[in-house]
Chain A
Amino acid sequence: MAAAQLLPILLGIAWLIPLASFVAILFFGPRMGGHGKGAAAVATSAIGASLFLSLIALVSWTLAGHPVRSGHHDGDHAAVHASDAGQSPGVFRPVAYRSPANNDAAGDASSHSGDHGESSAPIAYSGDWYTLYSGGALRLSIGWYIDSITVLMFVVVTFIATCIHVYAAGYMHDELHDVTDSEVQLNEGGSFCRAGRFHRFFQALSLFCFSMLGIVIAGNLAMVFIFWELVGICSWFLIGFYFERHSASTAANKAFIVNRVGDFGMLIGLMALWGGLGTLHFGDSVNPSTGETQSGLFELVRPAKGHYVQQVPDGMVAFSAADQIGKIAAAQPTASELHREVASALPEWREQGYGKWLLFVAGIGIFCGCVGKSAQVPLFVWLPDAMEGPTPVSALVHSATMVAAGVYLVGRFFPVLTPDVLLVIAYTGGLTLFIAATIAVTATDIKRVLAYSTVSQLGYMMLALGVGGWVAGLFHLITHAFFKSLLFLCSGSVIHACHTNDMRKMGGLLKVMPYTGWTMLIGCLAIIGAGVPFVVGFSGYYSKDAILAQALLFSRTNPQHSILYVAVAGGAFITAFYMFRLWFMTFAGSPRDEHVFKHAHESPRVMTAPLVALAIFAVVAGWTLPGGLGVKGLLEQSRPAGTAYTTTTMGILGNITVPAEHESHAGAIHVTATLTAFATALAGVLLAAVMYFKPLISPVAVAHAARPIYTFLVHRWYVDELYHAVFVLPTLWVARFISAIDTQVIDRFIHSLAWIAKRIASIDAWFDRVVVDGIVNLAGRATWKAGLELKRMQTGSLRQYVMFIVVGTVAIFVLATLLFRTSFAG
């Protein structure tokens, strides 16, 4: 079967199996095995089956022989340039999207566009399974858009999820029985005891996997949005797993509400896209009711006949130029004339800049959703709090997959993003990576360090995408998924052993927890991008190098934005420092707390096996096998059409050049970037070593010397306090005000209505009691009285009865005689 038919079936089934598992556990969970232990087996085998199908999909994708398009591997620059249709580095490819002031470049565009005649769209399969709603121009459907990122993400998500399911079966063991939660404060004192929720945990994990895979396979933005929200609700379930703890329920609500803020922007983006283009599909789609082929977003923004050069789509131009169309329509032309005139005027309007704001808003809107989900500045505050959930959740949801959804969507949506939007993304990512990295330096909760590290790494990915490093960003997304889930599972293992999150109570654990310790060291080395320069390295070495190189290239071509490179390089240094600070504090040196150390033990096999599996991938995920087989090569296959070239634009945010990614492999850039990465990482590790391994410098003394900075960082840049003051408190004021209106005005009004009704009712009751009942009772009483009186006549005296008869008879005769005199007379 051809890949076009096979892949949607394979991935579709892989996507739906976790849903089946969710439904099964939902209905039969508590009855599965002892206390629901079977739920873990069901969920794990479901996600394992998905992994199996995803691997088959990956193999069939590879075997289908998709051309490896301009591999850009180190050392084959000559081949790269030859295959790029004679495009020499440094010739900037202008896009049609520009301000009128740059008209001379327009000629440039037309002269160069011919050079790229053979540039082709990457292979991607798209289609619809089911149409949810169809009305007017709006068509919402459940469909697929499958290219190499989809397949790769399926493999990564299902693989990590499988590891974490296995791990969670061990980690969540306590939930099999009644749980006494010592962190819940009861008013009456004493400890809080509740039933175990083992099956509930796996139920939510299954739903989460289904939702995440739904985002990955989605063929249109509406479907992305549906599963986006499903992922959000799963996250809410899982963060609030220990919902009796106040901190957990608050964290769950915080995550949900902060994400809503981002999703609001996303909705605006969706409206801008639909309003301007009338479709939300990524690829071209066939309308089942009319049979017409409808262009997708990618085709509209980068039309094939325009050689995939980004332009403002006709729909958006016409949408924005409504006043111009109105002028033409004022002359009352026929419909076909109007259509022709508008069509002929569209290029001119596009030159004048109509619609560029709409495209900008669409891109920024979609990015807003990603900011929320991927915890970027300013919406990153929810992710560290989300560590209230069980550690497997932190590993799966809040480091490897769900937060990756935002980066994935930016990557998926990349062809539609204008250079202005990309610049915004780059700056957001840069700011995020720097802020989060600095906060991680002072954090003492082992999971919070990793949480801020996640935020920081997500910033790296966003920055990479923003500076045009499409492959670099998504490459880092995949390698990060492996080593960050590894790090989280290691931290979970440590917490499981020590029963505390506080690193200040750990130390020297390597002796008692060798598996955890060494695998965590691999994770740390991977995240800092350790490796022998130009030879071999951990997975992070390749992806981080790619990001650094692209950022450096961007800074060279746009000197006004050099700060981005500084952020990346500085971030690399800080990352190395705090990661090894974490490792040294936890595993090296001597125990700080004898009590904790004495009770620490290596975790069971079911927990260490996933660690080893993930550690292997944390090492090798970045490698490229002979023949170009590797994550990077696979990603390159699906590089969006038209993004392989340098683009220059005079956009809304000034003159921006987005450099071609393959140019970052040029020696001058690549060598500098690699050496910088190596040097910064080494410096970070050395600094951590002298502070925490061989304490030549006392951390306390440093903290004391730089007290204002230290306090600032310990309070996490006062962001939470700021939000509390700016958003939460005013919201609470408004809420209190409205609550006061409710109690003082509305309730009083209702109460007075109730009072009136009560009065009326009491009058009614009185009438009923006195008048109606009175009449009825009177009749009864009168009958009763009459009976009592008449009773006396029944004397029982025979003679009296005879007298009555006689007198009665005589009386009747007398009366008859008197009344009927005439008849007797007659």
Chain B
Amino acid sequence: MSIAPKPQSALLIVGHGSTENPDSSAPYFEHAAEIRRRELFAEVHTCFWKEEPSMREALYMIDSGEVYVVPDFISEGYFTQEVIPRELDLTGRSSNVRGKTLHYCQPVGVHPSMTGLLLQRAREIAPDANPAETTLIITGHGTGLNQNSTKAIRDQVGLITASGAGFAHVTDAYMEEQPFIAEWDKLSPTENVIVVPFFIADGLHSYQDIPVLLGIEPEVGPAASEREVFRHNPHHLRGKTLYYSSAIGTGRHMADVILDQVRDFDLAHGEHTTSL
């Protein structure tokens, strides 16, 4: 779904980024480029926690007086509730910072439209797998820092189970907390298993760490952009047929989810179509 043009406003997409793996920030730039092409905002920028521009310098790049800030993050958690507000000097849903009005939107991963993207991704990577004979695992990082970080995934499991998509079993699994993704075969009552990483980028976790936990790779390999051989589904492992997807955030439809969050902000907090 699209939104009305905001020619007086800027869009600022906030990502995590990495000092180790440039693939981590690639989707954010792609989402920004896609939205820039649609000419809905006066300016579209990205900023990062681990890369440049940092959140601390992002406002120096922006001319517009009104800025929609969308965390291109997969869940509510430590980054969206602590780090981003702190780094951008946010004081509430709308804040005045350095003479600009910043509107803080919800992270992309908690938007209801993510359910459709997950189901679409599952169909794409395993078109021949009958859902009634297939387990769908949505996998994330998991952390002790903030209990909300797994909520988005648990919510999606509930929504997909209730959606009538017909999977034999749908479950969540994590790298660092139970249920562990390393035990994917024990979590799956069926022979067919689809694993979709609930991450924005095919960075360190979804492209390098989780394949080792699944057993696809014997050890942590090079980054996606440095590999010469691409992986092919399905993988026949542990007596099962495993389909492993790229990170959910790498799809071009994520640009629509960013715009959905801007629209939902306006619906929840009133229209902000002009510069304040």
Tell whether A pairs with B: no
Residues of B near any A CB (own CB < 8 A) = none
